Amino acid sequence: MNQIETAPELTEIVETGGQTTGAQWLSRYSSSLLGVFGTPQRVLVRGAGCLVWDADGKEYLDLLGGIAVNALGHAHPFVTSVISSQLATLGHVSNFFTSPTQIALAEKLLDISKAPAGSKVFFANSGTEAVEAAFKLARRNTGASADGTTDNTATPRTKIIALEGAFHGRTMGALALTAKEAYRAPFAPLPAGVVHIPFGDVDALRAAVDETTAAVFLEPIQGEAGVRPLPAGYLKAAREATSAAGALLILDEVQTGIGRTGQWLASGDAGIVPDAVTLAKGLGGGFPIGALITFGPETSSLLSAGQHGTTLAATRWRPPRLWPPCTCWRTSRS
């Protein structure tokens, strides 16, 4: 096989930023990238551990961590070695196939989440995609039977509950769950049926969850709203209310999951079993990956073949262990 040499210009950009200043890069940025993020504060060219350097050679201590993504810091030797190893072995295979590493990662996620028998995993490319899958899961919890027929005596479940202050993503289903009006208003009408209730108010939760409720979406700790943990006992109350109504309890752990709070899931000590959990961010340590875990056979059967998918879902790699948190790589060819 012919080896493809890295273009000298690209190597220079990656390693040193070249001779171009930060101001010059920002001018080129504004001319070439869609302005949805505004003007970037710095042009970063290199990272090592918890440090980054900008195009002007200035060093910074990175306390942002890619917004809860870079769980192992920048340019971690373990991560870079297994990326190279996996790509040299097998890269993308499409969802017509699977791979041992995809299966092993799914099994590991089921293990660390303490999911019961019959639980399943769906892989995506980001947190918002994991939430979109969960949104569709909620839509399937309508009260219809497995063959698609509906009990005429039952009230259809069409309501989905989220909290004030919630942030679940920016794609349309996830945006409908997100509370901030500035994010929502430009894209109305959003998918219908979502209602937002006061944060941390158990009485409001109990009043809102009824026989028309398909699902309740909760972040154990709200991030966008200012790092607000749910009050003690709230998740247990949510589990009781949703179970009584036949609704799903879906926990968004995109930001709080994979060890960020000192345990694999921030909800791990709540004494409950949810119906679904979404993961992303630290799961890949910088590699784009998301996951939806469905708990138990009943919830896992709500989405069947052809009802959801993504081209890159089968391209998931993992190391022999799930710590450090970059879980999507394998370390050797076997």
Instruction: Write out the catalytic residue numbers.
Output: 167, 252, 281
Q: What's the CA gap between 107 and 110, in Å, rounded?
A: 5
- Beta-strand ranges (E) seen in 138-247 are 159-163, 194-197, 213-218, 221-222, 228-229
Helices and strands of the chain, counted as H and E runs: 11, 12
The residues, any chain, with a CB within 8 Å of residue 101's CB and separated by 6 or more, are 86, 316, 317, 318, 330
Q: What's the CA gap between 324 and 260, in Å, rounded?
A: 12
Runs of H (alpha helix) within 90-200? 100-112, 127-140, 172-177, 181-184
CB atoms within 10 A of CB 164: 15
Q: Hey, what amino acid is at 261?
A: T
Tokens 């875990």 found at: 293
In the structure encoding, which two tokens stand for residue 205, read together?
A: 């939760």
Q: How far is CA 222 from the centre of its chain?
A: 14
Q: Is the peptide bond before 189 cis (omega within 30 degrees of 0)?
A: yes
Q: What's the CA gap between 334 and 23, in Å, rounded?
A: 47
In the structure encoding, which two tokens stand for residue 36, read together?
A: 């949805």
Q: Hey, what amino acid is at 305?
A: A
| Sign of the dihedral defined by the CA atoms of residues 99, 102, 105, 110, in that order | negative
CB atoms within 10 A of CB 74: 20
Q: How far is CA 51 from the centre of its chain?
A: 25
Sequential DSSP letters for 22-47: HHHHHHHHHHHS-GGG-S-S--EEEE
The CA dihedral of 24, 30, 36, 42, to the nearest 10 degrees, is: 10
